[in-house]
Amino acid sequence: MADTVIENINDYMLQLGRQARAASRVLLRADTAAKNAALLAMAELIEARADTLMAENRKDLEAGERNGLDAAMLDRLAFNPERLGTMAEGLRQIAALPDPVGAISDLNYRPSGIQVGRMRVPLGVIGIIFESRPNVTVDAAGLCLKSGNAAILRGGSEAFHSNRALADCIREGLDRAGLPADAVQVVGTTDRAAVGALLRLKDHVDVIVPRGGKGLIARVSEESLIPVIKHLDGICHVYIDDHADLDKAVKVTLNAKTQRYGTCNTLETLLVAESIAPRALTALKPLFDDKGVELRGCARTRAFLPDIGEATEADWQAEYLAPILSIRVVPGLDEAIEHINHYGSRHTDTIVTENYTRARRFLREVDSSSVMVNASTRFADGFEYGLGAEIGISTDKLHARGPVGLDGLTTLKYVVLGDGHVRG
Amino acid sequence: MADTVIENINDYMLQLGRQARAASRVLLRADTAAKNAALLAMAELIEARADTLMAENRKDLEAGERNGLDAAMLDRLAFNPERLGTMAEGLRQIAALPDPVGAISDLNYRPSGIQVGRMRVPLGVIGIIFESRPNVTVDAAGLCLKSGNAAILRGGSEAFHSNRALADCIREGLDRAGLPADAVQVVGTTDRAAVGALLRLKDHVDVIVPRGGKGLIARVSEESLIPVIKHLDGICHVYIDDHADLDKAVKVTLNAKTQRYGTCNTLETLLVAESIAPRALTALKPLFDDKGVELRGCARTRAFLPDIGEATEADWQAEYLAPILSIRVVPGLDEAIEHINHYGSRHTDTIVTENYTRARRFLREVDSSSVMVNASTRFADGFEYGLGAEIGISTDKLHARGPVGLDGLTTLKYVVLGDGHVRG
C-alpha cells in the first residue's frame, strides 16, 4: 500500500493547517480532565492494538530491508510489545504531569488600581518534523496535547506505515475523550515537498520543532518562514579547575565522556588547569584507555601524555559522538571560559572546583543553555531536570533554552483585571 | 557634513558585529553598580551637552526642511531642553530598576541529588532598527545595557546627526563607568544597505527589534536571518457583554477609543451583545459625536443607530489609528470570542461584564497578548504593567508576548549544582 494520492501538495498542507488551527481553538478551552482522558485512551489503544501496529510496522521493516537500511536503523524502527508498552507508559506519565495551561502568576495591583498578571497559554499549532524513530510520533503528540497545542507531525518516510498506524490510535483516543481528532494530524504522504509546504504555513503554524540530524535541522532553519525551536551541536566541556577535588574531577569527567558516546550532552573537550594537569591527566589516562577512548591533546597535554595524538583546531570544533576526547591544558579559569564561549555550542558545560568564587564566575560567565558545577554534563536532560518529558534540547537563546518540556510549548499572555478602570 | 566614508558596507557591519559580540562578553559579567553608573553618566552628559546636541539636531531639521518633511515629522525630530531632560530622566529610571541579570529561580534538589535551577541571563547582542524619533536611541541603549546586552542601533537617516551626537554621550558614559564603549554602537552611515547587512549578521547578533511603521517591520521580518521580536498591528476590541455594568461599559469604551487615537492599544472595533445593544449604543452615540468619532456599524447596529455608516469586511480588519470606530452587534460571548480570534491582531482585548464565568472564559479563550476585564485597552503598556520601561509591544507568541521590558531582553539558562554527581 502506497500513500494516499494527493493531487496538490500545497493545497493538502494548507488543509491540514486550517484543520489544526480550528482544533487549536478547541484545545485552548479544553479542560485538564479531557486532555488526560485522551492521553490515557491513546495509551490503552496502543497496547490493545499491538498486533495491528506490528503488522503495519512490518511493512516499513520490509521496505527498509529492500531499500538497504542498515541493521542499526532497522532496529530503531522496529516495534515489539515492550517498545509499544514504553510508548503507552510515556503517555501515562504525561497525563500525570501538572497541566501548565491557564496558570496565572504575578497577579499584582498597580498604582492605577488595575491588577496585572500573566497567564500561561498554548502556542497554538506546532509542526514537528522528525526522522525514523516512530516513538517521536507518540511523545510529541502527547506533549503537544497536554500543553494545549494542535500538532502536525511529519515523520520519516521509512516509518510511514508505523506512524500512520500510531496516528490512528492517537486520533481515536482524542475522539473518545470528546476532543477534535485534528488536534494531532500526521502528514499522509512521503512526498518531500510536504516539508517545504509545511515550513511556509506561517498563518496556520506557530512554531516548528525539527528533530533529527544536522542536515534536517539546517534545511528547516534555512527554509522555514515560521519560528524554529532547534537543537544544533552539543560540543560540551568539562573544566578541571586547579582547586578541583581530584576524585570528583575524575568521576565527573569519566561519566561525562563514557556513560554514552552518541548523545548531545556527552563531553567532547576536556579543559584542565595547568597546575593540576599532571595529576589529573595521569589519573584519567588509564581509565580512558580501559574504556577504549582515543585521546587527542594540545602540546602541553602531550608533554604529560606523550603517547597520545595531537589535537588540532578542528578538534576543538568537533562533536565526535564517539569514543574520542580532545584535551587542552589552560592557564586558568579565564582561558577556560574563553575557550568554551568561543568553541562551544552553548549546550552544556561543567566546572569541577571547590572554589566558591570560581564556581560563581563559571555559572554566570559561560554562555550555555546548561552550566554546571561538580556534576556530569550527562545530566542535561528533561527527565533529570524534572520537566517530566522533553520534546528536545534547544541551543537557541530566544524563547526556550536547554531541555524543552511542557512549559517550553507554552507562552505567557498578560491578564488585566479592573472594575471599570480607564487610563488618565 | 555627510556620513563617514565606508568602502564596503558588509565589512563595516561585520566589524560592528564583532565589536558588539566582544563587548557583550564583558557585559555578561558587568556588575549592577557599573551598569547603573554608566546610565547615570549618560544622563548627566545628555543634560550637560544640550547645546551641542541641539546644534547637531539643527542639521537634521534643516535637511528635513530641504527634503520636505512635514511639520509633524519635524516636530517629532526636534530637540529642546525639556525633551533632552526627559531622555536623561528615562535613563535614571532605568538605573533605578532592579537588575534582572543573574537572578536564579526554582533551584530545587532532584532525586539524583543535583540541584537544578534557572538563571536569567542577557540575550547577547541586540540589533534595533527604528525610524525618526531619536529618543529611541537613548531608551534602547539604556534598556539593552541594563539587561546586559550589547546593542547595534540603526536609526532613521533623517535623524542621523542627532543619533550620532546622542551616541557620543552614551559611549562616553559607558567609558566613564569602565565599560566598553562598543556596548552601544550606532551605525555610522545612512546607506540603506546597512540594514540588509545587519539582518544577515546571524553569528554576531542574537535578536532584531524593529520599531517603526508596517513597511519597516514587513521588510525586517522578510529579510532577517536573525530572530525578530516584532510588533504588528493593534486591532483591539472591547466586548460589551449583556451582563455588563452599563456605566463601566461606557467609560471603558470611550477611554479605549478616545484617550489617544494613534496608539496601538487604541480600540478599533466595538462588539456589543444583542440584548444590551440598544441601551449601550444609545448611551455611547452622543459621547462619540461630541468627540467627533465616526461610527461605522453592521446591519444590526444600524437598526439602532440608523444615521451611521456601514461597516464592511474591511472595517473588521482595519487599524484606523484615527477617530473612527467600527461596531458589530453579536448574539453573545461565543461570537465575540470568535470575531476577536478571527479578525483581531492578538494585541489587546477587553470584556466588560459582571458575570464571573464569562470573564473567566474570555481571559482564557481570547488568544491575545493582553486580555482584560472591565479595563481600558489603553492600559496595555510597559509602564502601566510595572515593567518600568518597554522596548516595544510584541504581537508574536514566541519568547516575549505583550509589552517587552528588561525581562524580555533576557533568557533563562539552567544551572546545575552537584558534589561530584554522575549519571547512573
> Residues B235-265: pLDDT tens digits?
999 999 999 999 999 999 999 999 999 999 9
Question: Per-residue confidence at A4, pLDDT binned at 50, 70, 90?
Answer: low
Question: Among partner residues B29, B248, B398, which is closest to A399 by beta-carbon distance?
Answer: B398
d(CA B392, CA A4): 46
- What is the nearest CA distance from A62 to chain B, expressed in angstroms? 36
pLDDT at B4: 57
The CA-CA-CA angle for residues A11, A14, A18, to 5°, reads: 140
Question: Among partner residues B254, B341, B369, which is closest to A414 by beta-carbon distance?
Answer: B369
Residue A423 in any domain: the answer is no
Same domain, B18 and B154: yes
pLDDT at A390: 85
d(CA B406, CA A420): 29
Question: Per-residue confidence at B3, pLDDT binned at 50, 70, 90?
Answer: low
Question: Per-residue confidence at A14, pLDDT binned at 50, 70, 90?
Answer: very high
Residue B423 in any domain: the answer is no
Same domain, B196 and B252: no
Residue B391 in any domain: the answer is no
Residue A154: name the closest of A183, A124, A185, A180 by CA. A185
Question: Per-residue confidence at B170, pLDDT binned at 50, 70, 90?
Answer: very high
Task: Provide the whole-model pTM.
Answer: 0.90
* Residue numbers of the domain that contains A353: 236-379
Q: DSSP H helical segments within A67-134, as ranges?
A: 71-77, 81-96
Name the domain count of chain B. Answer: 2
Contacts of B415 (CB under 8 A, 6+ apart): A363, A370, A371, A372, B104, B107, B116, B117, B118, B119
d(CA A236, CA A251): 16
Same domain, B226 and B273: no
Instruction: Check A385 against B110: CB less than 8 A apart.
Output: yes
Question: Per-residue confidence at B6, pLDDT binned at 50, 70, 90?
Answer: confident
Chain A residues with CB-CB distance to B399 below 8 A: 398-399
Question: Among partner residues A119, A361, A372, which is closest to B416 by beta-carbon distance?
Answer: A372
Instruction: Check A417 against B124: CB less than 8 A apart.
Output: no
Q: What is the mean pLDDT of chain A?
A: 94
pLDDT at A418: 96
Question: Among partner residues A227, A373, A418, which is closest to B418 by beta-carbon distance?
Answer: A373
Same domain, B67 and B199: yes
Residue A421 in any domain: the answer is no
Same domain, B141 and B255: no
Contact between B46 and B138 (Cβ < 8 Å): yes
pLDDT single digits (tens) A246-272: 999 999 999 999 999 999 999 999 999
Residue A171: name the closest of A185, A159, A160 by CA. A185
Written as nine digits, the cell of A215 is 542536515
**CATH code for the domain of A271:** 3.40.309.10
Chain B residues with CB-CB distance to A351 below 8 A: none
Instruction: Check A420 against B380: CB less than 8 A apart.
Output: no
Written as nine digits, the cell of A248 is 570528583
Distances (CA, A) of A254 to A249, A267, A321, B131, B261: 8, 9, 15, 55, 65
Residue A386 in any domain: the answer is no
Contacts of B137 (CB under 8 A, 6+ apart): B130, B153, B155, B162, B163, B166, B167, B170, B186
Q: Tell me the residues of chain A between 220 and 259 that have a Cβ less than 8 Å away from chain B.
A: 227, 245, 247-248, 251-252, 254-256, 259
Q: What is the mean pLDDT of chain B?
A: 94
Q: What count of other Cβ atoms lies within 10 Å of the Cβ of residue A7? A: 6
Instruction: Check B376 against A421: CB less than 8 A apart.
Output: yes
Q: Could you identify the residue written with the cell 486580555?
A: B371
Percent of chain B, pLDDT > 90?
Answer: 84
Chain B residues with CB-CB distance to A254 below 8 A: 422
Question: Per-residue confidence at B53, pLDDT binned at 50, 70, 90?
Answer: very high
Residue A418: name the closest of A118, A119, A116, A121 by CA. A116
Chain B residues with CB-CB distance to A394 below 8 A: none
d(CA A213, CA A232): 9
Same domain, B137 and B223: yes
pLDDT at A415: 97
* Chain B residue with Cα closest to A254: B422
Chain A residues with CB-CB distance to B420 below 8 A: 245, 247-248, 251-252, 352, 374-375
Residue B393 in any domain: the answer is no
Contacts of B246 (CB under 8 A, 6+ apart): B276, B279, B280, B283
Question: Per-residue confidence at B2, pLDDT binned at 50, 70, 90?
Answer: very low
pLDDT at A65: 95
Chain A residues with CB-CB distance to B397 below 8 A: 123-124, 206-207, 411
Q: What count of other Cβ atoms lies within 10 Å of the Cβ of residue A292? A: 8
- Span between the terminal Cα atoms of chain B, in Å: 68
ipTM: 0.91
pLDDT single digits (tens) B176-233: 999 999 999 999 898 889 999 999 999 999 999 998 888 888 889 888 888 898 887 8
Same domain, B265 and B156: no
pLDDT at A1: 38
pLDDT at B406: 94
Residue B392 in any domain: the answer is no
- Span between the terminal Cα atoms of chain A, in Å: 68
Show the 3-state SS of A303-365.
HHCCCCEECCHHHHCCCCCCCEEEEEEECCHHHHHHHHHHHCCCCEEEEECCCHHHHHHHHHH
Same domain, A188 and A256: no
Distances (CA, A) of B198 to A66, B139, B345: 49, 20, 28
Q: Tell me the residues of chain B between 342 and 401 that have a Cβ less than 8 Å away from chain A.
A: 350, 352, 361, 363-365, 367-376, 378-380, 384-386, 396-399, 401
Same domain, B19 and B140: yes
**CATH code for the domain of B137:** 3.40.605.10
Could you tell me if B116 lies within 8 Å of chain A, comparing CB atoms? yes
pLDDT at A212: 84
* Chain A residue with Cα closest to B413: A369
Same domain, B175 and B322: no
Question: Per-residue confidence at B303, pLDDT binned at 50, 70, 90?
Answer: very high
Exposed, middle or buried, A286 (CB in 10 Å: 0-12/13-18/19+)? exposed
Instruction: Check B411 against A401: CB less than 8 A apart.
Output: yes
Percent of chain B, pLDDT > 70?
Answer: 99
d(CA B12, CA B139): 25
Q: What is the mean pLDDT of residues A147-169?
A: 96
Q: Tell me the residues of chain A between 390 and 419 that have a Cβ less than 8 Å away from chain B.
A: 396-399, 401-403, 411-419
pLDDT single digits (tens) A188-216: 998 889 999 999 999 999 999 998 888 88
Strand partners, A394: A402
Strand partners, A119: A104, A413
d(CA A162, CA A78): 9
Instruction: Check A384 against B245: CB less than 8 A apart.
Output: no
B3 SS3 class = coil
Residue A204 in any domain: the answer is yes
pLDDT single digits (tens) A308-345: 999 999 999 999 999 999 999 999 999 999 999 999 99
Residue B79: name the closest of B61, B101, B95, B102 by CA. B61
Same domain, B267 and B248: yes
Same domain, B262 and B367: yes
Contact between B116 and A403 (Cβ < 8 Å): no
Could you tell me if B55 lies within 8 Å of chain A, comparing CB atoms? no
- What is the nearest CA distance from B217 to chain A, expressed in angstroms? 15
